[in-house]
Amino acid sequence: MSRVFNFSAGPAALPEAVLRKAGEEILDWHGSGMSVMEMSHRGKEFTAIIEKAEADLRELMQIPDDYSVLFLQGGASSQFAMIPLNLLRGKGKADYINTGSWSKKAISEGKRYCEANVPATAEAENFTWIPKQDQLELDPAAAYCHMTSNNTIFGTEFHYTPDTGDVPLVADMSSDILSRPIDVSKFGMIYAGAQKNIGPSGLTIVIVRNDLVGHAVDWCPTMFDYKTHVDAKSLYNTPPTYGIYIAGLVFEWLKEQGGLEAMAELNQRKANKLYEAIDGSDFYHSPVVPEDRSYMNVPFTLSNPDLDATFLEEAGEKGLVALKGHRSVGGMRASIYNAMPEAGVDALIDFMRDFEKRNA
Ligand SMILES: *Cc1c(COP(=O)(O)O)cnc(C)c1O
């Protein structure tokens, strides 16, 4: 068996230690004689698993007590609808900062339910930068302000938390949750599909301040009402049990690594050396302004795009896979989430230097 360095944007690499543990436990979880996949979601074994996962996530992110943690399905994309259904609270408009493709999807879904205003957008420059606080034309009467904290496709990231005053800030953190400490109390709601930095696809995590729950429109589908899931502790119906179990193992692993401060340090070190390698050559180019670059997704182009296919092929032969960039940016994209070891980034940089030497 040989494992590659997987730079996929999502579903993405998981920590090898987590996969090994899941492998060891696959036939018999803790003497239960069953796989977690085969257990009742209401039995004592799974109850222990979901409660531990929630407690560890709360500890890692320092989630205040007046927030609920929900383990849902439907992906981040379902949240694009659940947010207006639940958080408009009788108001007719909301703000949506537009920083890329995922913001745009949130906006077009939001428009089905309310006036979705855009306090700032970087679309004219193909989303290569992040609006600063003083560029946000915020509406104090908005029901909420939505942001995408890390733009998986364009490789930009908010390195500050917007101040939206009394308007609840709602953040799609699908691709940078758990990558660094954040102050949860500055947000009304945080959500993330699991498949980038948490666990397998099929699980969506929602962290919502309790005063925002219980105000869904009266025609809201039961499954789309946060209150349903808060009241039932994410067990209204069958939750994605195996995904929750793997996420729980990832949370344990993160605690063993030293928590989010240690992850932030490692993630910055990984990203900085990759950006330095890109900036230090005329052969590679980063489209993103330096101060807004993502620590998680690093898009870069080759000055000669005719070499793209050869680059990808030769990288693959070295066990460096899934580097093809998104079509809206072109070139390459290295996604270097928590689970990407520093050795993987080092191997990529070595390959890039060698490729440049042979092709420049
Ligand atoms: C991947 C991604 C999504 C979509 O997530 P799904 O779980 O597939 O719906 C949304 N937002 C961001 C920022 C993403 O990276």
Q: CA 354 to CA 277: how far, in whole Å?
A: 12
Distance CA 349, CA 354 (A): 9
% of the chain exceeding 70 in pLDDT = 100
How far apart are alpha carbons 8 and 59 in whole angstroms? 28
Last residue of a domain, one of 256, 278, 304: 256
One-letter amino acid for residue 46 of the chain? F
Of 192, 227, 256, the last residue of a domain is 256
Query: Which residue is catalytic, options 196, 253, 270, 292?
Result: 196
Rounded-to-integer distance, Cα 118 and Cα 88, Å: 16
- Ligand 1: distance of its center to the CA of 354 in Å? 34
The long-range contacts involving 59-65, CB below 8 angstroms and separated by at least 24 positions, are 59/255, 60/178, 60/251, 60/254, 60/255, 60/259, 60/260, 61/178, 61/181, 61/182, 61/184, 61/207, 61/260, 62/181, 62/184, 63/184, 63/207, 64/184, 64/185
Catalytic option among 29, 56, 102, 253? 102
Query: Which of 72, 174, 335 to mutate to test ligand 1, by most ligand atoms within 8 A of the CB atom?
Result: 174
Residue 3 in any domain: the answer is no
Band of pLDDT at residue 240, cut at 50, 70 and 90 = very high
What CATH number should be reported for the domain holding residue 271?
Answer: 3.90.1150.10
Q: Do residues 188 and 270 share a domain? A: no
Q: Which atom of ligand 1 is nearest to the CA of 195?
A: 7
Number of compact structural domains in the chain: 2
Res 63: pLDDT: 98
CATH number at residue 90: 3.40.640.10
Residues 47 and 153 in one domain: yes
- Using the mean position of ligand 1's atoms as its centre, give its distance from the Cα of residue 299 in Å: 17
Domain of 305 in residue numbering reads as 259-359
Same domain? For 245 and 270 the reply is no
Indicate whether 10 pLDDT > 80. Answer: yes
172 is an active site residue = yes
- Residues 103 and 208 placed together within one structural domain of the fold: yes
Catalytic residue (one of 172, 176, 225, 292): 172
The pTM of the full predicted model, rounded to 2 decimals, is: 0.98
Which residues make beta-bridge pairs with 276?
none
Q: Does residue 11 lie in a domain region?
A: no
Distances 28 to 187, 249, 347 between C-alpha atoms, Å: 40, 16, 37
335 lines ligand 1 (CB under 6 A): no
Q: Is 8 annotated as a binding residue?
A: no
What residue owns the CA closest to ligand 1's atom 13?
174
Question: Does the residue 1 lie in any domain?
Answer: no
Alpha-carbon dihedral 118, 120, 123, 127, rounded to 10 degrees: -130
Instruction: Tell whether the model's pLDDT for residue 24 goes beyond 90.
Output: yes
**Is 32 labeled as ligand-binding?**
no
Q: Which of these three, 238, 256, 274, is where a domain ends?
A: 256
Mean pLDDT of 309-331: 96
Percentage of residues in the chain having pLDDT higher than 90? 99
Other Cβ atoms within 10 Å of 131 Cβ, number:
19
Residues 207 and 264 in one domain: no
Residues 193 and 331 in one domain: no
Sheet of strand 332-335: strand arrangement: 284-285, 297-302, 332-335
> Within a domain: residue 5?
no
pLDDT digits (tens, 9 = 90+) for 150-197: 999 999 999 999 999 999 999 999 999 999 999 999 999 999 999 999
Mean pLDDT of 322-327: 96
Taken as a whole, the chain contains a residue count of: 360
| Domain contains 6 | no
Indicate whether 46 and 159 sit together in one domain. yes
E strand segments, 74-155:
93-96, 115-117, 145-148, 150-151
Residue 1 has pLDDT above 90, yes or no: no
Residues 188 and 273 in one domain: no
What pLDDT is attached to residue 311? 98
Residues 291 and 183 in one domain: no
pLDDT of residue 40: 98
Residue 118 lies in a domain: yes
Establish if 2 belongs to a structural domain.
no
Would the annotation count 310 as a binding residue?
A: no
Residue 102 known to be catalytic: yes
Residues 272, 208 share a domain: no
| Statement to judge: residues 70 and 192 lie in one domain | yes
The question of whether 196 is a catalytic residue gets the answer yes
Neighbours of 111 (CB within 10 A): 13
Residue 165 lies in a domain: yes
Mean of the per-residue pLDDT values of the chain:
98
Q: Provide the pLDDT confidence category of residue 29 given band limits of 50, 70 and 90.
A: very high
Mark whether 328 and 224 lie in a shared domain.
no
